[in-house]
Amino acid sequence: MGNIDIIKERIGDSIKVKESLLTNDQLLETVSNLADEIVACISLGGKLVICGNGGSASDALHFAGEIVGRFVKERRAWPAVVLNADVATMTAIANDYGYDDVFARQAEGHVSPGDVFIGISTSGNSENVYRAMLKAKEIGAKTAGLLGKDGGKIGREVDYPIIVPCRVTARVQECHINIIHILCELAEAKLSEL
């Protein structure tokens, strides 16, 4: 198979996964509800707390950039904390407590009741994201997961499981970015009305 064939096949694969989301009423409703939860959180002075590993860490940074900076509309900055952004804190916690607790320990310090915690995991089983979500839930935050496959153990525990039902990490990540952009667009539209 030549380069052009591979390129076409991967674009086609991405389209098929996104088309499957269009008919997934549960996913669509959950995205809508999470957007409303983000609006309520920000309106009441709360913040988003986001984390992930690897490509999902980059997606967490991207999400926060759209929230703190702007997506499309000119507006005030909204608060978002990315737990995977602070390398010194992460490595200190990993050294002292282990990598499974790098986000939970930070969640304990940063999450407040009324915040929205968003964990990103293409498997739905990232232990450090899972533990952070449990800590956020214990503190009183609403919890969401941008997940893949069957949602894993994170999907069974979060308030808002957004599960891209695909086993290919790259396709899941492509959908996660699409969903992040949709969440930002919905939040900006509603918050500009307030």
Residue 68 belongs to domain with CATH number: 3.40.50.10490
Residue 79 pLDDT class (50, 70, 90 cuts): very high
The predicted pLDDT at position 1 comes to: 84
**Span 67-84, mean pLDDT?**
95
Q: Give yes or no for residue 194 having a pLDDT over 70.
A: no
The predicted pLDDT at position 80 comes to: 98
Q: Give yes or no for residue 62 having a pLDDT over 80.
A: yes
Instruction: Map tokens 């952009």 to a residue.
Output: 181
Cβ-based neighbour number of residue 62 at 10 Å: 18
Element (H, E) at 121: strand 116-121
Half-sphere exposure of 23 (CA within 13 A, CB side): 4
Nearest CA-CA partner of 186 in 77, 22, 37, 81 = 37
**Span 180-192, mean pLDDT?**
94
Taking only the tens place, the pLDDT of each residue in 94-116 is 999 999 999 999 999 999 999 99
Give the total number of structural domains in the chain. Answer: 1
Asked if 177 and 59 count as a contact pair (C-beta separation under 8 A), the reply is yes
Residue 192 pLDDT class (50, 70, 90 cuts): confident
| Mean pLDDT for all residues in the chain | 97
Which residues is 82 bridged to in the sheet? 50
Alpha helices, DSSP H, located in the chain: 3-22, 25-43, 55-68, 87-97, 104-110, 127-139, 152-157, 169-191
Domain that residue 166 falls in: 3-191
Percent of the chain with pLDDT over 90: 97
The predicted pLDDT at position 193 comes to: 67
